[in-house]
């Protein structure tokens, strides 16, 4: 019987640590290259666990980061195996160790929900961050081979990067509602914290130690922690409905600052040794962050317009809804009063609609509502005319600057257009029809819009009383 998933993870983790503890001791003369190979494998094991047990863009970025770190160890191994490459390859390994944090920072600083142009800008900031890391790394090559000030600067750079990774991941974990995000950033927070502690100890307390010693086991630990966290079976997935809205807004407000803040911090470290690169970093952080804000603002404006349109549209028929109708009626009423022009309103009702719903079912009724709505809207040719869904099976049309005769003519066109749809119905005539009441005011005095609505509603009642499938008109004074 196969062991449980969690037990399998522990077997792999303990087996790897045991191998790293024993193998370099078995071949003392090759302890360093053997240990380097195992150190390169440790992040790859964690990456394989991510690919096996987790999915998503954030996990993919973590896999890329682990690959970069493993590449740094491979570069160190190459430098050991190929004489004469120490300076250049050591610089490459340091670069890869530093760059490992860039994909993670990008993941924590650029939410996947952001619009793609904003994420491209975030990627530019991440690349600029990588470039400054590259310049900083090449300035000092290695901590062991540089001056005391150079080594201190390198340690400071690593500390800054690791601290940002932990802080960003922890903030995203605390303020995330979605189960996938909480899983990702929870795992990432624990891994980044373990990595930061181990890196600080190695860089500050064991900076002169060479690979191949017992201290190498400590370097494995963050990746073993990550492997175990990913290998475990996730708990029940529930949204954090109780999360404070202020916490969520805080995360949304602070996230865009993460990449620019990191870039500014690294540029500040470079200021003394490479002032031009530092100034370039400051300028990039400022300008690109400004561009990001512009793109975010444009998207927010577009989203606001979309939501405004949705709030005034009927979700079934896509016609303007009652709210939109009320706004337009008040506006056209005021305009007609100022211009001393007539205003007409059509009240339209689908005949025997309850019978249709009861007999043919609500899905068919919804289909017929959409078909009738499209037919009515197609009859309104002027941009000033508005056809809206009033509620249920009722529609309305506002016709500014229109005479009673013109309004009645358009109403008749609408009635015939609906009949031409030939929609089967249990109604007496065997197909869907509409009754239309036309309310019209030639001049608007002290009345209010409810007056016109009342005229159209009374006219509709007359049309239904007279047998349905017809148009009736009431004007002021009738």
Span 46-75, pLDDT tens digits: 999 999 888 777 899 999 999 999 999 998
For residue 343, name the pLDDT band (cuts at 50, 70, 90): very high
pLDDT 10s digits, 323-340: 999 999 999 999 998 888
- Beta strands, E only, 334-401: 343-350, 386-391, 394-400
Q: Decide which of 441 and 303 is more confident.
A: 441
pLDDT value at position 16? 94
Comparing CA positions, the residue from 32, 15, 34 lying closest to residue 23 is 34
Q: Decide which of 240 and 156 is more confident.
A: 156
Comparing CA positions, the residue from 171, 352, 135, 344 lying closest to residue 252 is 171
Section 319-326 average pLDDT: 92
Residue 220 has pLDDT above 90, yes or no: yes
Average pLDDT of the chain, as a whole number: 85
Residue 143 has pLDDT above 50, yes or no: no
- The 10 Å CB-count burial string (b at 16+, else e) for 102-113 is bbbbbbbbbbee
Q: Decide which of 173 and 241 is more confident.
A: 173
Q: Decide which of 269 and 224 is more confident.
A: 224
CA 39 to chain centre: 36
Q: Which of 116-120, 244-248, 358-362 has the lowest mean pLDDT?
A: 244-248
Residue 473 has pLDDT above 90, yes or no: yes
pLDDT value at position 293? 86
φ, ψ at 443 (rounded to 5°): -140, 140
For residue 88, name the pLDDT band (cuts at 50, 70, 90): very low
Residue 471 has pLDDT above 50, yes or no: yes
Q: Which of 84-98, 100-114, 284-298 has the highest mean pLDDT?
A: 284-298
pLDDT value at position 3? 53
Residues 104, 98 contacting (CB under 8 angstroms): no
Residue 154 has pLDDT above 50, yes or no: yes
For residue 91, name the pLDDT band (cuts at 50, 70, 90): low
Q: Compute the distance between CA of residue 28 and CA of residue 212 in angstroms, rounded to an integer.
A: 9
In this prediction the pTM is 0.64
Query: Which contacts of 63-66 are long-range, i.e. CB under 8 A and separated by 24 or more positions?
Result: 64/103, 65/100, 65/101, 65/102, 65/103, 65/104, 66/100, 66/223
Q: Which of 41-50, 59-68, 197-206, 215-224 has the lowest mean pLDDT?
A: 197-206
- The 10 Å CB-count burial string (b at 16+, else e) for 323-358 is ebbeebbeebbeebbeeebbbbbbbbbbbbbeebbe
Residue 287 has pLDDT above 80, yes or no: yes
């Amino acid at each position: 019987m196969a062991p449980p998933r969690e037990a399998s993870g522990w077997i792999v983790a303990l087996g790897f640590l045991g191998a790293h503890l024993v193998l370099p001791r078995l071949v003392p003369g090759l302890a360093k290259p053997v240990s380097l190979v195992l150190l390169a494998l440790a992040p790859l094991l964690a990456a394989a666990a991510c690919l096996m047990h987790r999915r998503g863009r954030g996990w993919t970025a973590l896999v890329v980061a682990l690959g970069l770190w493993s590449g740094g160890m491979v570069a160190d191994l190459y430098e050991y195996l190929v004489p004469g490459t120490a300076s250049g390859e050591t610089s490459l390994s340091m670069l890869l160790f530093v760059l490992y944090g860039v994909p993670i920072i990008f993941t924590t600083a650029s939410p996947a929900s952001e619009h793609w142009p904003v994420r491209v800008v975030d990627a530019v900031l991440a690349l600029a961050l990588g470039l400054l890391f590259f310049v900083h790394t090449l300035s000092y090559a290695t901590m062991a081979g540089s001056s005391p000030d150079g080594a201190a600067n390198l340690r400071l750079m690593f500390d800054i990067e690791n601290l940002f990774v932990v802080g960003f991941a922890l903030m995203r974990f605390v303020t995330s509602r979605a189960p996938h995000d909480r899983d990702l950033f929870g795992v990432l927070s624990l891994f980044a914290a373990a990595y930061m502690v181990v890196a600080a100890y190695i860089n500050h307390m064991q900076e002169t130690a060479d690979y191949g010693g017992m201290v190498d086991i400590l370097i494995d630990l963050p990746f073993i922690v990550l492997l175990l966290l990913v290998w475990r079976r996730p708990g029940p997935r529930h949204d954090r409905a109780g999360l404070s809205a202020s916490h969520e807004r805080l995360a949304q407000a602070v996230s865009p600052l993460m990449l620019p803040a990191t870039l500014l911090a690294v540029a500040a470290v470079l200021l003394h040794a490479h002032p031009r690169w530092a100034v370039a970093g400051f300028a990039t952080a400022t300008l690109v962050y400004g561009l990001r804000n512009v793109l975010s603002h444009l998207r927010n404006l577009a989203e606001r317009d979309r939501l405004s349109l949705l709030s005034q549209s009927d979700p079934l028929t896509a016609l303007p809804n009652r709210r939109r109708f009320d706004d337009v009626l008040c506006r056209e009423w005021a305009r007609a009063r100022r211009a001393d022009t007539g205003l007409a309103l059509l009240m339209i009702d689908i005949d025997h609609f309850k019978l249709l719903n009861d007999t043919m079912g609500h899905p068919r009724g919804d289909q017929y509502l959409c078909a009738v709505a499209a037919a009515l809207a197609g009859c309104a040719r002027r941009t000033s005319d508005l056809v809206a869904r009033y509620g249920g099976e009722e529609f309305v049309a506002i016709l500014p600057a229109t005479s009673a005769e013109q309004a009645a003519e358009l109403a008749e066109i609408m009635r015939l257009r609906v009949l031409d749809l030939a929609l089967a119905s249990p109604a007496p005539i065997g197909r869907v029809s509409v009754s239309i009441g036309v309310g019209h005011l030639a001049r608007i005095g002290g009345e209010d819009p409810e007056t016109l609505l009342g005229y159209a509603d009374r006219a509709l009642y007359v049309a239904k009383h007279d047998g349905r499938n017809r148009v009736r008109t009431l004007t002021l004074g009738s």
